[in-house]
Structure 1
Amino acid sequence: MNTFSRRIGTGIAGFATAAVVSVFAAPQASATVDAITVSGSNHVIDTEYALTAKLSGAGIGLLVYWSDNGEDISGPKVPWPVGEAHLNWTPKTPGRHLITCSQGGSTKTIEVMVTDPSNPDPGDPTDPGGGTGSAGKALSGLFGSS
Structure 2
Amino acid sequence: MSARARRAGMGLTAFGAAAATLVLVAPQASAWVSDISVGGSNQQVGCAYTVTATVAIDRLLSVSFTDNGTAITGSPVTPSLLSNSVTIQWTPTTAGAHTIQATQDLISKSTVVQVSPSSAFGSVGCGLNGLFPSLSG
User: TM-score interval w.r.t. the shorter chain?
Assistant: 0.5 to 0.7
Considering only aligned residues, what root-mean-square deviation do their CA atoms show, in Å? 2.1
1:98 aligns with 2:99: yes
DSSP-derived class of the 2:56 partner: strand
Match of 1:42 in 2: 42
1:70 & 1:83 partners in 2: Cα distance? 24
Q: TM-score, normalised by structure 2?
A: 0.60
Tell me by how many angstroms 1:105 deviates: 2.1
* Consecutive aligned runs of 4 or more in structure 1 exceeding 3 Å deviation: none
2:102 & 2:64 partners in 1: Cα distance? 6
Match of 1:114 in 2: 115
Decide whether the 8 Å contact of 1:31 with 1:104 is kept in 2.
Answer: no
The residue identity in structure 1 corresponding to 2:54 is: K
Aligned residues: 91
Tell me by how many angstroms 1:52 deviates: 0.5
Q: How is 1:61-76 mapped onto 2 (pairs within 5 angstroms)?
A: 61-73=60-72, 74-76=74-76
Tell me by how many angstroms 1:64 deviates: 0.6
Q: Could you tell me the percent identity over the aligned residues?
A: 35
Q: TM-score, normalised by structure 1?
A: 0.56
Gaps of 5+ in 2: 1-25, 121-137
Decide whether the 8 Å contact of 2:46 with 2:118 is kept in 1.
Answer: no
